[in-house]
């Protein structure tokens, strides 16, 4: 919750919406969930990609 700035329930809902409405999918080496976690971590903490 601290790093993503949202609760687990909201994160799961966001993940479901992005997968169903926008048809976002897992890539070869990284899951869509991991991609979303990285983006939210960067936005929530101000970290850069190399820190992730």
Residue 16 has pLDDT above 70, yes or no: yes
Does residue 42 lie within any of the structural domains? yes
Closest CA to 8 of 42, 39, 35, 33: 33
Query: Of 39 and 51, which is predicted with more confidence?
Result: 39
Q: What is the pLDDT of residue 41?
A: 85
Q: What is the pLDDT of residue 9?
A: 92
pTM here is: 0.71
Does residue 25 lie within any of the structural domains? yes
Does residue 2 lie within any of the structural domains? no
Does residue 3 lie within any of the structural domains? no
Among positive and negative, which fits the CA dihedral 34, 38, 40, 45? positive
In the structure, how many helices (H) and strands (E) does the chain have?
2, 0
Count of domains observed in the chain: 1
Residue 12 has pLDDT above 70, yes or no: yes
What is the extent of the structural domain holding 43? 8-51
Query: Could you tell me if 15 and 36 are in contact, meaning their C-beta atoms sit under 8 angstroms apart?
Result: yes
Does residue 21 lie within any of the structural domains? yes
Closest CA to 39 of 28, 27, 30, 52: 52
1 pLDDT tier (thresholds 50, 70, 90): low
């Amino acid at each position: 919750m601290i790093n993503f700035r949202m609760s687990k329930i909201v994160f799961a809902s966001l993940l479901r919406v992005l997968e169903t409405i926008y048809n976002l999918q897992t890539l070869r080496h990284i899951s869509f969930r991991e991609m979303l976690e990285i983006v939210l971590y960067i936005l929530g903490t101000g970290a850069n990609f190399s820190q992730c």
